[in-house]
Amino acid sequence: MERLKKTSDGGCYPSLFYLFQRDRYLATVEKDVIPWLYRTGTLVKSGLTVGGRFRFPDCPQQSDDGNYGAVTRLTSSGQELNPAEKLTAAEVIKMYTLNAAYASHEEKH
């Protein structure tokens, strides 16, 4: 994590994609791999600047669904996935505002 903090800003988190693909992950990904998928909570809590993004192919464009998924870590069918990676509502808002602006070099405009 320390190496990543030195070499990266954390990237962007596609929460809508994650919300709508989690059920597929639970059904098709090996159980020992699932805890390593989309460890956004770990990245945010380590101090990396992780931005959020709304647009992703094959997903409904409803930002509240993505925010809900980031906070609850529930799949679209209601199953919980990696609850240790939950974010707070404040962390999600920051990802989609200040951090997204930072990731696109627009934080000072």
- Count of domains for the chain: 1
- Determine the Cα angle at 65 with ends 31 and 25, to 5°: 15
99 domain-assigned: yes
Residues 15-27: tens digit of each pLDDT: 555 566 778 888 8
Residue 67 belongs to some domain of the structure: yes
87 belongs to a structural domain: yes
Amino acid at 68: Y
In this prediction the pTM is 0.75
Task: Say if 44 falls within a structural domain.
Answer: yes
Domain extent, residue 71, equals: 14-103
**For each successive 10 residues of the chain (109 residues), what is the average pLDDT?**
65 59 83 85 86 60 68 85 90 86 77
Q: Within its chain, how far is the Cα of 67 from the centroid?
A: 9
Of 7, 87, 1, nearest in space to 51 by CA: 87
The answer to the question of residue 109 being in a domain is no
